[in-house]
Amino acid sequence: MAANGAECEQPQKRLGPKDKQNGSSTDSSLRERKQQDREERLSLVLWKRPFTTLQYFFIETLITLKEWTWKLWQRRGVVFLSVVLFSLFSMAYSVEGEHQQYVQYLEKKFLWCAYWVGLGILSSVGLGTGLHTFLLYLGPHIASVTLAAYECGSVNFPEPPYPAQIMCPEEEVLQESISLWTIMSKVRLEACMWGAGTAIGELPPYFMARAARLSGADPDDEDYEEFEEMLEQAQSAQDFATRGKLAVQNMVQKVGFFGILACASIPNPLFDLAGITCGHFLIPFWTFFGATLIGKAIIKMHIQKLFVIITFSKHIVEQMVSLIGIIPGIGASLQKPFREYLEAQRAKLHNPAGDGAAAGESWLSWVFEKVVLVMVCYFILSIINSMAQSYAKRLQQKKYSEEKMK
């Protein structure tokens, strides 16, 4: 009996390594195929395959609109309530009366806040390459307010034209003591709204990972696939980038609210991984979003504001311009346009709108405008490429499912 048992056990031991080898070869071939498909999708860009890219972009746009329409129809009660509230506000907006001053005040504040929240969302939502709206919009706005505060000796800029245009007060005012806190208070609303927008933009990775974990379906996101591969290879990770991602993942998973808060409170290019980690391990929504909102809209924004205000304070700017002048050979020629630009900005602050005294724009402002235009255009192109690649992935997944059915 023992001999028979041993004979029965021997074949099982011999088949084990073969099964493992077959499984590993299948996994490696599947991984190679996914890598080839990913490379094929990444080659789908406007400057390589323009007609196919545009075709896939329009098809993906129609599919996305159809999905959004269906989701709105499923929440038609909320949509109906929103339409009713919008209709009531439209009536209050159009009817004359004493309430118009309050309506106009609310309209102005709402549009201003919505503008900065929208820029914050664009900065972090992951559309295309992402639009770096802090460098393009919020940072220059804070810098302009800082320079104007030191030049005017006040932050009580006339409204209008502020915030569209900054002008010194026309009447003689007592020179205030301009402090960091004074300038931070002036731009606090814009900065906090932008920070809140960046927090909202971090929600898609969280919801995607959470839905994939709850449903058990294959994730329709490459970042999530990389996250799962990283978890599988956590013990053998050697490179610095992977170890950094694992450190973020461990902090968020083990520390919870305060780990998310720490990751959100500093400039952190790996924070998308924090959202995926929270969704994958089913961390409650308000724990994730509350920590992200506090970190990005309050702590991180005050750090960034402080940095910009100190950098563009009057004495620091003058020192930087003076340092440019000591560069051997080209210092004087580089220093001249910066001095002219600062003088033009100071003159513009003391001239009422429409005087035309500050009509001449320096080449620095012209270059900055063109850089902003180029970055916005590249952002739009990256969205087109990204949506075309999403449709290509739909086709590849459809092909996989058809092969499994055979």
- Cα–Cα distances (Å) from 228 to 108, 131, 225, 232, 285, in that order, read 46, 27, 5, 6, 21
- Cα–Cα distances (Å) from 119 to 132, 137, 200, in that order, read 9, 8, 11
Name the average pLDDT for the chain: 77
The span from the CA of 193 to the CA of 121, in Å, is: 10
Q: At residue 20, does pLDDT exceed 60?
A: no
Q: Alpha helix (H) ranges present in 43-162? A: 50-74, 76-94, 100-124, 133, 139-152
Predicted local distance difference test score (pLDDT) of residue 165 = 80
Sign of the CA dihedral running 380, 52, 388, 228: negative
Among 230-234, 336-340, 368-372, name the one with the lowest average pLDDT.
Answer: 230-234
State how far Cα 312 lies from the chain centre.
Answer: 24
Predicted local distance difference test score (pLDDT) of residue 15 = 44
Q: Alpha helix (H) ranges present in 216-239? A: 222-232
Residue tagged 């929208």 (tokens): 118
Q: At residue 356, does pLDDT exceed 90?
A: no
Predicted local distance difference test score (pLDDT) of residue 152 = 83
Among 110-119, 343-352, 378-387, name the one with the lowest average pLDDT.
Answer: 343-352
Q: Percent of the chain at pLDDT above 70?
A: 76
**What confidence tier does 362 reach under pLDDT thresholds 50, 70, 90?**
low
Half-sphere exposure of 361 toward its Cβ, with a 13 Å CA cutoff?
Answer: 7
**What confidence tier does 220 reach under pLDDT thresholds 50, 70, 90?**
low
Q: Are 168 and 346 in contact (CB under 8 A)?
A: no
For residue 399, give both structure tokens. Answer: 């092909």
| 83-135 pLDDT, tens digit each | 998 888 888 788 887 878 888 888 888 899 999 999 888 888 755 455 678 88
**The pTM is what?**
0.71
